[in-house]
Amino acid sequence: MESLKSKIALVNQRLRSLLANARLALQGERDFGVEMVRALASQIREMDSVMSDAKHLRAAHPEISEDLDLYISLATELKTVLEHIRVMLLSRRASLENDRAHMEAVSRWAAAFQSTR
């Protein structure tokens, strides 16, 4: 059972690091890109089989309960951070769309101005 405990501890360590990077992305200190999404998905996927059988595993191996609780806590926190990142990205997209519309208007104005000369 030590290998399962080690696996959960390793995922928790990686998830904690990725969560810290996601928070930094929210603060504008890091990019939140495809690589980070893939890394997060990989850690979540790695725990799918464990979490699907968590109730049984807790009963059979109480020594992993603390690690499972930490994983649940980190995953819950990650859900909140990802929602904030989603809102941030939606806001950036809206800003970019406004900038694009502005640039199109300036371009049309410049073309109209050139045609009057």
pLDDT reported for residue 17: 97
How far is the first Cα of the chain from the last one, in angstroms, to the nearest whole number? 81
pLDDT digit string, tens, across residues 2-24? 699 999 999 999 999 999 999 99
Mean pLDDT of 88-95: 94
Determine the pLDDT at residue 117. 78
Q: Which residue has the tokens 């997209």?
A: 93
Torsion of CA 28, 30, 31, 34, to 10 degrees: -140
Helix (H) or strand (E) segment spanning residue 56? helix 54-60
Q: What is the pLDDT of residue 66?
A: 96
Is the pLDDT at 105 greater than 90? The verdict is yes
Global confidence as pTM: 0.81
The pLDDT, as a whole number, for residue 57 is 93
Q: Which of 22, 59, 61, 62 is nearest to 41 (CA)?
A: 22
DSSP for residue 6: H
Is the CB of residue 67 less than 8 Å from the CB of residue 5?
yes
pLDDT value of residue 1: 59
Reported as a single tens digit per residue, the pLDDT across 21-76 is 999 999 999 998 999 999 999 999 999 999 999 999 999 999 999 999 999 999 99
- Per-domain boundaries in the chain: 2-89
